Amino acid sequence: MSNSPLSTSNLAIGSLVSLFEVTTLGQPFEVLKTHLAANRDDRLRDAISKTLDRGGLKGFYQGLIPWAWIESGSTGAILLFTATAVEDVAKRQGLTAATGGLLGGAVGGAAQAYLAMGVCTCMKTAEITRQKAARIPSSIPGQPSALIKPAGPLEFFVEVWKKEGIRGINKGVNAVALRQMTNWASRMGFARATEDFIRQTKGMPKGSKLDTSDKVIASAVGGALGVWNMPLEVIRVEMQSMKQLPDGSARPQKLTMLSTLKYIYKENGIKGLFRGVTPRIGLGVWRTVCLVSLGDYIKDAVNTREKIITATDY
């Protein structure tokens, strides 16, 4: 492996770090955020209670296998590989670290959405919002109702594919792309700007390495401030939701980003466009700490090891 910004090692690092992120705190935050965005009249405690009712502690990991793992394993690699390359070009062009982070995050986020995230995000949201079981009343008095188990994740994927084709399993991909571009442009831009602010505050030279705590603080700030685009996330969830709607619902049959925005605003007002923002702050902080701070730490460790190996070859 090479320590070049285009090194294939960045693909492996991004994939592993992203898998760690989603398997620890990432998916529980994702489940709560998605529930609130799809069920906009619920409060956070309602989301926690209903998630527990759907499957106990395992309910907080709905959609993890296989969709979140597939999504994280691929998108983490794409983000770290692409963003690292763009940040390096920006640095060589004399741009600030914050500008480089913003550009790297935007390009990396767009690449994530169109290369890997559309299908996985759609099916992951479907797992969180669709009906998981149903009971059919018995026609015989005194007999218990029959419990019908839902299709598994892959069976459900095949059902949607047969019914709606590629559009059905890729709903909301443009909303996903806008979300990812603004997500990572904000997270990485704010994180790099905070890193520079910490260096200035401590009188450190430009570009010097920060210690672990400072890196984590900078990433946490970037992750928290990156939730300003929450309306895009709520629109994305509504477009991909499999939630059963009451008769007479005003929800448009064919959803576009604009029609979905109008529907959410009509039904829930401005507040509806920010439902789920609290768990999303937690998700944004944890994801940015993992993909930026932990990613930078591992990249530096790998590059240092490669330099040592190269030096001992001569």
Question: Residue 263: which CATH number?
Answer: 1.50.40.10
259's CB contacts (< 8 A; 6+ apart) are 252
Q: Which whole number is the average pLDDT over 75-92?
A: 89
Q: Give the span between the Cα atoms of 283 and 125, in whole angstroms.
A: 16
Q: Is residue 34 part of a domain?
A: yes
Q: What is the mean pLDDT of residues 122-139?
A: 64
Domain count, the chain: 1
Q: Are 235 and 275 in contact (CB under 8 A)?
A: no
The answer as to whether 313 is a domain residue is: no
Which residue has 């979300």 as its token pair? 179
The gap from C-alpha 77 to its chain's centroid, in whole angstroms, comes to 14
Q: Count of H helices and E strands in the chain?
A: 13, 2
pLDDT (average), residues 94-117: 89
Q: Give the pLDDT mean for 84-91.
A: 91
β-strand partners of 198: none
The verdict on residue 311 lying in a domain is no
Higher per-residue pLDDT: 160 or 56:
56
Residue for token pair 């672990």: 212
pLDDT of residue 29: 95
Please state the length of the chain: 314
Q: Which DSSP state fits 59?
A: G
- Which tokens is 142 given? 């005194």
Distance CA 202, CA 221 (A): 18
User: 194 pLDDT exceeds 90?
Assistant: yes
Mean confidence (pLDDT) of the chain: 84
Q: What's the pLDDT band for 199 if we cut at 50, 70, 90?
A: very high
Full domain range(s) for residue 286: 8-134+146-306
Return the pLDDT at 314: 45
Q: Residue 116: inside a domain, yes or no?
A: yes
Q: Residue 79: name the closest of 236, 291, 233 by CA.
A: 291
Residues 249-261: what's their mean pLDDT?
A: 88
pLDDT at 136 over 90: no
3 state SS of 136: strand
Confidence band of 114 (pLDDT split at 50, 70, 90): confident
Q: Angle at CA 22, nearest 5°, toward 283 and 82?
A: 90
DSSP E strands, 37-103: none
Cα dihedral sign for 227, 230, 236, 237?
positive
Residue 143: pLDDT above 70?
A: no
Query: Does the structure show a pLDDT above 60 at 186?
Result: yes
CB atoms within 10 A of CB 143: 9
Does the pTM surpass 0.75? The reply is no
Residue 1 falls within a domain, yes or no?
Answer: no
